[in-house]
């Protein structure tokens, strides 16, 4: 078989065709407008009907030189001499399918988790895997994870494929499937990738098959797959050259708005910190107004703080992340106490799966918990958790280990990581690390000093939008600036305070003085 283009894989469904069209027209429009691979997926047809339909679709695909894959039915694939077959975990085992098909047909297998991906690579006989579901979908109800495995789950499976390729020099191609459409396709491709391993394409059903204009739906999707969206291009390039005073100047000039969805304990303090540094706070849990904010306010960032979570708040967080992503606005995530319970870590997983975050800020414990969600945490090669080898608690982690954990979180989630503590670490990827010392022990006696650093980072990352709707911020730089300012103010406040109450007042004063005077 010559090389296959997996980039836009249409999986058909004859139950969702718009009244104005027909099944064959939808498929033909897709074939003529950028679909690179077609899978005929029929659940209710008799064998005869299936063969007749497959022949008709095959006529269309052959004209364009596009391979036709048959879902589940190896007999139908053989009957019409289709180019391949796709089997799921409950279908005919891949090994038997391969025997029946011979070595030259394309064989695809569904994988929903790492375990299934490991079986596929151990067998080594599939040409490609369909990974998913990524997100919730109405098209297929009998899926393992109805909410979707999200980019986190997809990355873990990619890690298995990547290790396989490194070890065997053989590639098993991969597409993601489930809930993918025009609004999230770019994000799926961006988020479902490792530094050295990416998806080969996206598989979709409803966003083409159910579309009134399948031709446009296909060409638009093909375009999205080819190009990187603006908001992601600018997301970050590291260089910590800019001076703090310049960053503060920009902050004051821009007067950014920080939308806090934060915990009840710290709202007042965080609002005062935000005002003191020259930005404006807004506290809103009214999801319906977010679109209005994000579409209209240029210098705006969102702070998502998990401090006092609830089911309602989770829905609000998710909506906010989607809206802020849609308008290319930065999001700072503070996974407060995410290691305290399974539910909190699960909440963090869901939020990180919902969209692209720009900065994750937390103490060593919180970032170590987030690290457990990364694809590097469980390397299939057997060196699981080697980073924590011999370490009983996070208190024993060396600086090198802390930084490594930060780097792995940064790489996996494509975020800047801020790890707070006596020494603060701002980390991006393998190359960027800035240590920031300062602060004062009295900071530990004031509720909200941790959370309000999140407000400060959000203000700095929003600060350079400069009246345009595009983020032009170097996030790493902005985070470093925020952490520096915060710790300088903390240190100075500590010098003139003996007790927490006066420290709190002095800290707000110092934040103001450092930025305004």
Ligand X SMILES: Cc1ncsc1CCOP(=O)(O)O
Ligand Y SMILES: Cc1ncc(COP(=O)(O)OP(=O)(O)O)c(N)n1
Query: Judged by CB under 6 A, does residue 207 bind ligand Y?
Result: no
Among ligand X, ligand Y, none, the one that 72 touches (CB under a kind-dependent 5 to 8 A) is: ligand Y
Q: Closest distance between ligand X and the C-beta of residue 21, in Å?
A: 16
Cβ atoms of 462 and 299 within 8 Å: the answer is: yes
Catalytic residue among 192, 338, 451, 514: 451
Query: Judged by CB under 6 A, does residue 140 bind ligand Y?
Result: yes
Q: In the complex with ligand Y, which residue's Cβ is closer, 85 or 480? A: 85
* # chain residues binding ligand Y, by CB under 6 A: 17
Residue 301 per-residue DSSP state: E
Query: Judged by CB under 6 A, does residue 39 bind ligand Y?
Result: yes
Side by side, the strands of the sheet bearing 416-420 are: 280-283, 257-261, 300-305, 330-334, 359-363, 416-420, 424-428, 432-436
Q: Closest distance between ligand Y and the C-beta of residue 375, in Å?
A: 20
Q: Candidates 80-88, 408-416, 472-480, 485-493: pick the segment binding ligand Y (CB under 6 A).
A: 80-88
Report how far residue 8's alpha carbon sits from residue 202's, in angstroms, rounded to the nearest whole number.
Answer: 5
Residue 22 per-residue DSSP state: -
Among ligand Y, ligand X, none, the one that 153 touches (CB under a kind-dependent 5 to 8 A) is: none
Q: Is 354 helix (H, G, I), strand (E, B) or coil?
A: helix
Whole-angstrom CA distances from 170 to 3, 121, 380, 381 are 14, 10, 16, 16
Q: Closest distance between ligand Y and the C-beta of residue 41, in Å?
A: 5
What x-and-dash track marks residues 91-130 binding ligand Y by CB under 6 A?
x----------------x-x-------------------x
Query: Judged by CB under 6 A, does residue 175 bind ligand Y?
Result: yes
Q: In the complex with ligand X, which residue's Cβ is closer, 13 or 477? A: 13
Binder of ligand Y out of 11, 217, 261, 446 (CB under 6 A): 11
Q: In the complex with ligand Y, which residue's Cβ is closer, 135 or 327? A: 135
Among ligand Y, ligand X, none, the one that 137 touches (CB under a kind-dependent 5 to 8 A) is: ligand X
Residue 178 per-residue DSSP state: S
Q: Closest distance between ligand Y and the C-beta of residue 203, in Å?
A: 4
Active-site residue, 451 included:
yes
Q: In the complex with ligand Y, which residue's Cβ is closer, 58 or 140? A: 140
Q: In the complex with ligand Y, which residue's Cβ is closer, 130 or 278? A: 130
Query: Judged by CB under 6 A, does residue 86 bind ligand Y?
Result: yes
Contacts of the segment 71-80: beta carbons below 8 A, 24+ positions apart: 71/11, 71/39, 71/40, 71/41, 71/42, 72/41, 73/47, 74/100, 74/101, 75/47, 76/47, 76/50, 76/51, 77/101, 77/105, 79/51, 79/54, 80/51, 80/54, 80/55
Cβ atoms of 96 and 85 within 8 Å: the answer is: no
Report how far residue 221's alpha carbon sits from residue 224's, in angstroms, rounded to the nearest whole number.
Answer: 5
For binding to ligand X (CB under 6 A), which residues are involved? 11, 132-133, 137, 139-140, 143, 177-180, 204-207
Q: Candidates 81-89, 153-161, 212-220, 315-323: pick the segment binding ligand Y (CB under 6 A).
A: 81-89
Report how far residue 338's alpha carbon sits from residue 507's, in angstroms, rounded to the nearest whole number.
Answer: 27
Dihedral in degrees, nearest 10, Cα atoms 302, 308, 313, 318 = 50
Bridge-based pairing of strands 424-428 and 416-420 is antiparallel
Percent of the chain as helix, strand, coil, to the nearest 5: 50, 15, 35
Residues with active-site annotation: 451
Residue ranges binding ligand Y (CB under 6 A): 9, 11, 39, 41, 71-72, 86-88, 91, 108, 110, 130, 140, 175, 177, 203
């Amino acid at each position: 078989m010559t090389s296959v283009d997996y980039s836009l894989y249409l999986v058909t469904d004859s139950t969702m065709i718009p009244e104005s069209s027909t099944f064959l027209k939808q498929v033909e429009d897709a074939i003529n407008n950028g679909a690179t691979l077609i899978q005929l997926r029929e659940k209710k047809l008799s064998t005869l009907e299936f063969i007749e339909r497959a022949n008709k679709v095959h006529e269309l695909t052959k004209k364009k030189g596009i391979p036709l894959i048959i879902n589940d039915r190896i007999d139908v694939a053989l009957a019409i001499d289709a180019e391949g077959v796709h089997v799921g975990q409950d279908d005919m085992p891949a090994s038997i399918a391969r025997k029946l098909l011979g070595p030259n047909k394309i064989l695809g297998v569904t994988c929903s988790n790492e375990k299934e991906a490991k079986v596929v690579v151990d067998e080594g006989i599939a040409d490609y895997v369909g990974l998913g579901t990524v997100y919730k979908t109405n098209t297929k109800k009998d899926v393992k994870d109805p909410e979707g495995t999200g980019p986190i789950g997809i990355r873990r499976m990619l890690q298995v494929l990547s290790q396989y390729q490194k070890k065997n020099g053989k590639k098993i191609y991969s597409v993601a499937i489930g809930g993918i459409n025009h609004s999230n396709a770019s994000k799926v491709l961006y988020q479902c990738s490792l530094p050295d391993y990416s998806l080969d394409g996206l598989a979709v059903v409803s966003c083409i098959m159910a579309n009134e204009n399948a031709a446009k739906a296909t060409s638009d999707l093909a375009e999205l797959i080819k190009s990187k969206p603006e908001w992601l291009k600018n997301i970050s390039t590291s260089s910590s050259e800019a001076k703090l005073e310049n960053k503060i100047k920009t902050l004051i000039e821009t007067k950014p708005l920080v939308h806090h969805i934060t915990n009840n304990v710290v709202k007042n303090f965080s609002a005062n910190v935000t005002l003191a540094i020259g930005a404006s706070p807004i506290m809103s849990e009214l999801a319906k107004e977010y679109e209005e904010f994000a579409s209209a306010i240029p210098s705006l960032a969102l702070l998502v703080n998990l401090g006092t979570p609830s089911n309602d708040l989770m829905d609000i967080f998710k909506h906010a992340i989607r809206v802020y992503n849609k308008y290319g606005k930065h999001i700072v995530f503070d996974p407060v106490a995410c290691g305290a319970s399974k539910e909190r870590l699960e909440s963090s997983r869901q939020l990180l799966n919902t969209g692209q975050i720009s900065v994750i800020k937390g103490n060593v414990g919180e970032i170590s918990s987030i690290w457990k969600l990364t694809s590097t945490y469980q390397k299939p090669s057997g060196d699981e958790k080697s980073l924590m080898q011999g370490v009983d608690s996070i208190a024993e982690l060396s600086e090198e280990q802390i930084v490594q954990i930060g780097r792995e979180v940064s790489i996996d989630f494509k975020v800047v990581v801020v790890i707070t503590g006596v020494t603060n670490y701002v980390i991006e990827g393998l190359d960027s690390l800035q240590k920031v010392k300062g602060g004062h022990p009295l900071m530990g006696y004031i509720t909200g000093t941790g959370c309000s650093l999140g407000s400060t980072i959000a203000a700095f990352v929003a600060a350079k939008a400069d009246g345009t709707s595009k983020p032009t911020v170097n996030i790493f730089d902005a985070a470093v600036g925020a952490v520096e300012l915060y710790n300088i103010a903390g240190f100075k406040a500590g010098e003139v305070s003996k007790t927490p109450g006066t420290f709190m007042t002095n800290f707000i004063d110092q934040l103001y003085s450092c930025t305004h005077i």
